[in-house]
Amino acid sequence: MNATQTKFGIHHIRLDLRSYTTNSKPSMSFQQFIQRGKVLTMYRKYMRLLNRIPEKSTRKEMREWIRADFDRYKGEADPQRIDILLAQASRQFKEMQSSIWNAQSKRSVITRIVGGGSGGIGRG
């Protein structure tokens, strides 16, 4: 990388792109590429789901737990094992999604009953 200075004091940087090759990492096979995309999609789904948790501390704790779980298997290279892990992650996601949905539904019902929705406590 070379830097030059102009008459206005602005530095121009010239990069020698030949020194920035991607040969440091082996390239992925098509199957690895597809699996990587599936893993990233699953991770993003989890992160989006966490936004539905109203308690900030719970949301943070869950985010850390999910991140640690994904990091634990970061170096996994066996395609069959990755498929198994993705299936487990999908099942756990559905369970978490259901739990969050049920908690939100209960909170909604309680709000309607206690909060004075039509026919609620304190009306009449």
Q: Does residue 21 surpass a pLDDT of 60?
A: no
Task: Supply 57's token pair.
Answer: 């501390």
Q: Considering only CA atoms, which of 109, 98, 91, 111 is closest in space to residue 52? A: 98
- Residue 38 in any domain: the answer is yes
Burial of residue 118 (CB within 10 Å: 0-12, 13-18, 19+) is: exposed
- Domain assignment of residue 22, yes or no: no
In a domain, 42, yes or no: yes
Higher pLDDT, residue 115 or 95 = 95
* Cα–Cα distance, 53 to 91 (Å, whole number): 19
Q: For residue 117, is it within any domain? A: no
| Owning domain of residue 35 | 28-77+87-100
Q: Does a structural domain hold residue 123?
A: no
CA distance 90 to 38: 11
Mean pLDDT (the chain, rounded): 81
Residue 111 has pLDDT above 80, yes or no: no
Q: How many domains does the chain have?
A: 1
More confident residue, 98 or 122: 98
Instruction: Quickly tell me which residue has 């026919």 as its tokens.
Output: 119
* Per-residue pLDDT at 50: 94
113 Cβ neighbours under 8 A, 6+ residues apart:
120, 121
Q: Is the pLDDT of residue 12 over 70?
A: no
**Residue 68 falls inside a structural domain:** yes
